[in-house]
């Protein structure tokens, strides 16, 4: 697959865009994303036009520094945008959230590297896989390294101009940045959910990676802290890395469940089920069990939304004071991420159980949301047992 082409180099979004502006833009994209969700699921990729519209709305600049045309907004703004986009299409929201969040990885590299990526095109994005591939080989050469290996689950790689990979150098994991043009895409993404995320395997064969695009994994957090002086107005650099406060993955699950509930509520007045084995029909809106199950599911989704909103807002306010999170705060945020993802799955399963045989249609909005949310819950960062144990340890001292 060739390197992504998203059109000519564009001017950065209006620097005067406010949080309200970008959240409203995300909301306005929901109807279009809903129209295209089945197509995305079948094609196993987000359309270039949808990606372009997200960029034009300024969403990809929420978590970029002003020096490169960014808006320098907060994790809270990113979380809300993700939830709204997921109401329309979870795969599209996942791609947005990944590519937006990976700006922080770029910011851990030296000024020279940031200039190389964003100096010409402020819309440039980064995808890849931060998990160590012990089978990858990295060979030292003059001025850098030669990298060979393959990494799966590279979400958003349909559009990213750059890829980041974790490979061993002298026994320790290192992050290496590679141009998309120097990679090969293996079309092996055939999941049950989040089918449009482009989370395909990327292969690198003897690509040269200069020293400015290599850093030890163990130095990333410290390096981000050092880059604060380059972007003194970008408070998000004071947040946790990898971030839990922007709910990168969990916000997709919550938004998808929200969208499923909206669809059910909009169609319940005309929805029926077969009355019994001899035929007949009953209106779902007249059934007490439907009322109780849906009311509880919608209430759970609302609680999950409120938890995302509150936790991300609190984290943004903490970062605005240039205060780093304590272990207890970080553990609580990890717990909240795993919790809202679990709640979203439980709620969508309640709604799914109400729609009858129509649920067998893989293109049904609730069925698709169920598949997507199930896939979200498999992400390593949303492991409930791990999150719960870490949280308990943090409060037990």
357/374 Cα distance (integer angstroms): 20
Kindly report, residue by residue over 242-276, the tens digit of the pLDDT.
889 999 999 999 999 999 999 999 998 888 777 67
Domain contains 169: yes
Domain end (from 74, 106, 138): 106
103/300 Cα distance (integer angstroms): 32
Reported as a pLDDT band with limits 50, 70 and 90, residue 2 is: very low
Q: Supply the CATH number for residue 148's domain.
A: 2.40.110.10
Peptide bond between residue 341 and the one before it cis (omega within 30 degrees of 0): no
Cα–Cα distances (Å) from 83 to 55, 150, 276, 282, in that order, read: 17, 31, 38, 34
* Residue in the structure block whose two tokens are 């999170």: 325
Length of the chain: 397
**Residues 113, 119, 122, 127: what is their CA dihedral angle, to the nearest 10 degrees?**
-20
pLDDT at 287: 86
Kindly report, residue by residue over 271-309, the tens digit of the pLDDT.
877 767 777 788 888 889 889 999 999 999 999 999 999
pLDDT at 356: 83
Task: Judge if 340 and 369 occupy the same domain.
Answer: yes
pLDDT at 282: 81
Kindly report, residue by residue over 365-381, the tens digit of the pLDDT.
999 999 999 999 999 99
pLDDT of residue 348 exceeding 90: yes
Kindly report, residue by residue over 154-180, the tens digit of the pLDDT.
999 999 999 999 999 999 999 999 999
Task: Judge if 307 and 261 occupy the same domain.
Answer: yes
Task: Judge if 254 and 373 occupy the same domain.
Answer: yes
Residue 271 main-chain phi, psi, to 5 deg: -90, 140
Domain contains 225: no
The counts of H helices and E strands in the chain are 12, 10
Domain contains 209: yes
Q: 3-state DSSP helix/strand/coil percent for the chain, to nearest 5?
A: 55, 15, 25
Report the number of distinct structural domains present in the chain: 3
pLDDT of residue 337 exceeding 50: yes
Domain contains 5: no
Q: Identify the weakest region by mean pLDDT among 92-106, 129-143, 210-224, 351-365.
A: 351-365
pLDDT of residue 51 exceeding 70: yes
Task: Judge if 305 and 372 occupy the same domain.
Answer: yes
3-state secondary structure of 277: coil
Residue 254 main-chain phi, psi, to 5 deg: -65, -45
Range of the domain at 333: 250-396
User: Which value, in Å, is the radius of gyration of the alpha carbons in the chain?
Assistant: 22
Q: Supply the CATH number for residue 369's domain.
A: 1.20.140.10
Domain end (from 72, 106, 140): 106
* Residue in the structure block whose two tokens are 């100096």: 119
The DSSP symbol for 71 reads -
The DSSP symbol for 161 reads S
Task: Judge if 153 and 289 occupy the same domain.
Answer: no
pLDDT of residue 149 exceeding 70: yes
370/32 Cα distance (integer angstroms): 20
Reported as a pLDDT band with limits 50, 70 and 90, residue 8 is: low
Q: Supply the CATH number for residue 83's domain.
A: 1.10.540.10
pLDDT at 281: 80
Domain end (from 194, 216, 238): 216
Domain contains 239: no
Task: Judge if 132 and 198 occupy the same domain.
Answer: yes
160/361 Cα distance (integer angstroms): 32
> Do 366 and 256 contact (CB within 8 A), yes or no?
no
Q: Across the chain, what does the average pLDDT equal?
A: 95
pLDDT at 1: 45
Domain contains 60: yes
Reported as a pLDDT band with limits 50, 70 and 90, residue 7 is: low
Dmax over CA atoms of the chain, in Å, equals: 79
Task: Judge if 314 and 370 occupy the same domain.
Answer: yes
Cα–Cα distances (Å) from 307 to 255, 337, 338, 354, in that order, read: 13, 9, 12, 26
pLDDT of residue 87 exceeding 60: yes
Task: Judge if 41 and 179 occupy the same domain.
Answer: no
> Do 245 and 312 contact (CB within 8 A), yes or no?
yes
Instruction: Find the helix or strand (DSSP H, E) in which 163 lies.
Output: strand 162-169
pLDDT at 5: 53
Task: Judge if 277 and 383 occupy the same domain.
Answer: yes
> Do 160 and 127 contact (CB within 8 A), yes or no?
yes
Measured in whole angstroms, the distance separating CA 363 from the mean position of its chain's CA atoms is 22
Task: Judge if 38 and 147 occupy the same domain.
Answer: no
Task: Judge if 208 and 278 occupy the same domain.
Answer: no
pLDDT at 69: 97
Domain contains 74: yes
- Mean pLDDT, residues 100-128: 97
Task: Judge if 28 and 134 occupy the same domain.
Answer: no
Share of residues in the chain with pLDDT > 70 (%): 98
pLDDT of residue 6 exceeding 70: no
Domain contains 347: yes
């Amino acid at each position: 697959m060739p390197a992504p082409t998203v059109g000519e180099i564009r001017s950065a979004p209006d620097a005067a865009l406010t949080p309200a502006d970008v959240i409203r833009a995300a909301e306005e994209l929901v109807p279009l994303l809903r129209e295209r969700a089945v197509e995305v699921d079948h094609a196993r990729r987000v359309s270039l036009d949808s990606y372009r519209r997200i960029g034009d709305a300024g969403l990809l600049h929420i978590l970029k520094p002003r020096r490169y045309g960014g808006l320098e907004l907060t994790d809270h703004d990113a979380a809300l945008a993700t939830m709204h986009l997921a109401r329309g299409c979870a795969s599209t929201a996942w791609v947005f959230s990944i590519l937006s969040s990976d700006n922080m990885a770029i910011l851990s590299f030296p000024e020279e590297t940031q200039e190389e990526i964003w100096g010409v095109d402020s819309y440039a994005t980064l995808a890849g896989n931060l998990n160590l591939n012990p089978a990858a080989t990295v060979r030292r050469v003059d001025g850098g390294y030669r990298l060979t290996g393959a990494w799966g689950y590279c979400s958003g790689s349909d559009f990213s101009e750059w890829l980041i990979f974790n490979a061993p150098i002298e026994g320790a994991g290192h992050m290496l940045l590679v141009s998309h043009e120097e990679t090969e895409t293996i079309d092996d993404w055939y999941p049950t959910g989040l089918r449009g995320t482009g989370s395909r395997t990327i292969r690198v064969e003897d690509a040269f990676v200069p020293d400015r695009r290599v850093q030890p994994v163990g130095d990333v957090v410290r390096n981000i802290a050092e880059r604060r002086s380059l972007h003194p107005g970008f408070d998000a650099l004071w947040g946790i890395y990898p971030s839990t406060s922007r709910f990168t993955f969990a916000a997709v699950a919550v938004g998808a469940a929200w969208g499923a509930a909206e669809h059910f509520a909009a169609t319940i007045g005309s929805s029926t089920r077969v009355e019994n084995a001899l035929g007949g029909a009953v209106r779902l809106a007249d059934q007490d069990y439907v009322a109780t199950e849906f009311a509880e599911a919608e209430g759970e989704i609302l609680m999950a939304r409120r938890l995302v909103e509150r936790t991300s807002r609190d984290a943004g306010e903490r970062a605005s004071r240039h205060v780093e999170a304590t272990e207890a705060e970080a553990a609580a945020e990890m717990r909240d991420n795993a919790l809202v993802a679990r709640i979203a799955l439980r709620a969508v399963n309640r709604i799914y159980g109400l729609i009858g045989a129509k649920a067998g249609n893989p293109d049904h909005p609730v069925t698709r949301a169920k598949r997507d949310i199930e896939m979200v819950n498999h992400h390593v960062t949303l492991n409930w047992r791990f999150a719960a144990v870490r949280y308990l340890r943090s409060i037990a001292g």
